[in-house]
Structure 1
């Protein structure tokens, strides 16, 4: 099921204005440059911010997301014609052969169902060419990020052009590890409408994630820190291991 913050048309339309600081994407852009990537599958592309940044660099991009409202926003953006947009998820993809599969931000953690997670890893593997990379981030459970998800810490009022002031905040609903559920609330001053969106994330241990990757034939090449959240996240770089001579340099062109 798609969270309302991505799937409700009114909430999808304000997603970008409420999250204008996307420096969390910088490590992914550096990885694209580091390994000379030419073709990318962006799983959970949302409103297309990362996909369009890649397209601006001349990268061939496929963006897939199950939230139709978010895909609609992405398709309406300037330059969107340079990206192939797919409404759906990574469990059912057309034939692809990309250099890199990315799951930015909360995408990996938002796949809470374990069967769907395994199918996503398999779908990503099949979309990669031999030697290609799967890159994604996930929060370290030890950092207990959910303790900061309070109304007091997150409350703000954002003036959005064409929409007006929007109050927003998040609050923790339930912690039942490895699952954590929280609620986003949005109040539109223009007409007083209040919308909420409940989200659940799965906090996987590093060893658990590495084991899942190995099960699906990946080689865990590196586990990096997220520069904007030092010591709080794991950034996994896992290589499709079909070619014995590949290694990371094999995705250079």
Structure 2
């Protein structure tokens, strides 16, 4: 299955158990708090961890997600009633409706094609007021993180809320033109095996700056890690971008 962690209810549960609150979430919340942003878009909100936290912090939050199984999981969580949930992608974004837009959990990398990426950025710009902020993360291709996506280095056990354990590992199938295609394996306690495949796009800092600016933003900062390290410093291997929406016509 493609992107099974978001589409298959059993794998969505594994995803939620594995991806708990972390340093990345702390930084996103801190970056959001640096400027007034009453209305926030969580684009590609997944199972809603960050969207619910932003709503609890007092923001009016809209979570947009194309995968129904992920949205179903988000809607069941405590605090979910504070968030407006919308199934869809860039096509459902209303104009000038938000003061900030966040893409967390490397959502940007799932938008693989260059035209789709630029179109998504332009849709996000239209959804923001002038001066609104765009905040997202993407893995730095210079870090070559996919080299650790092999059955040895990536193998781990995930404990589900009910106590069952899922053994999982990742293997890379193809690396070309800045994209990495991989398959993740899941072995459940009862012996069932599920697999999920995906392709991620690894864009350089230069590519991100160029495309974000072409879509109508001014890039403010690019960090290389969750402690706001410079790009290329530290061990996180991230590109964390903040940008400001230019007035239309500029």
**Deviation at residue 220 of structure 1 after TM alignment:** 1.0
- Residue of structure 2 in register with 1:105 after alignment: 105
User: What is the CA-CA distance between 1:167 and the residue it aligns to?
Assistant: 0.9
- Taking the aligned partners of 1:154 and 1:230, their CA distance within structure 2 comes to 17
TM-score (normalizing by structure 2): 0.91
Where in structure 2 are the equivalents of 1:182-201 lying within 5 Å?
A: 182-190=182-190, 192-201=191-200
Conservation of the 8 A alpha-carbon contact between 1:46 and 1:70? yes
Correspondence for 1:17: 17
* Structure 2 unmatched ranges of 5 or more: 228-233
SS at 1:131's partner residue?
A: strand
User: Is it true that 1:238 corresponds to 2:243 in the alignment?
Assistant: yes
Aligned-residue Cα RMSD (Å) equals 1.9
**How has the CA–CA distance of structure 1 residues 230 and 34 changed in structure 2, closer, same or farther, with 3 Å as cutoff?**
farther
Shift of 1:22: 2.6
CA distance in structure 2 between the partners assigned to 1:126 and 1:227 by the alignment: 28
SS of the residue 2:73 aligns to: helix
- For residues 13 and 126 of structure 2, what CA distance do their matches in structure 1 show? 32
Equivalent residue for 1:206?
A: 205
Q: Which residue of 2 aligns with 1:157?
A: 157
- Cα distance between partner residues in 2 of 1:9 and 1:96: 34
Cα distance change, pair 193–169 in 1 and its aligned pair in 2 (3 A): same
SS in 2 for 1:50: helix
Gaps of 5+ in 1: 245-253
Say whether the 8 Å CA contact 1:6–1:69 is kept in structure 2: yes
* 1:12 alignment partner, SS class: helix
Deviates more, 1:112-121 or 1:79-88: 112-121
Tell me how far 1:153 sits from its aligned partner: 1.3
Deviation, structure 1 residue 215? 1.4
Q: How does 1:66-215 map to 2 (within 5 A)?
A: 66-162=66-162, 164-190=164-190, 192-215=191-214
Q: How many residues align structurally?
A: 243
Per-residue CA deviations over 1:116-168 (Å, capped at 9, x if unaligned) read: 21121011101111101111111111111111111211212223133612111
C-alpha distance in structure 2 between counterparts of 1:158 and 1:220, whole Å: 37
TM-score, length-scaled by structure 1? 0.90
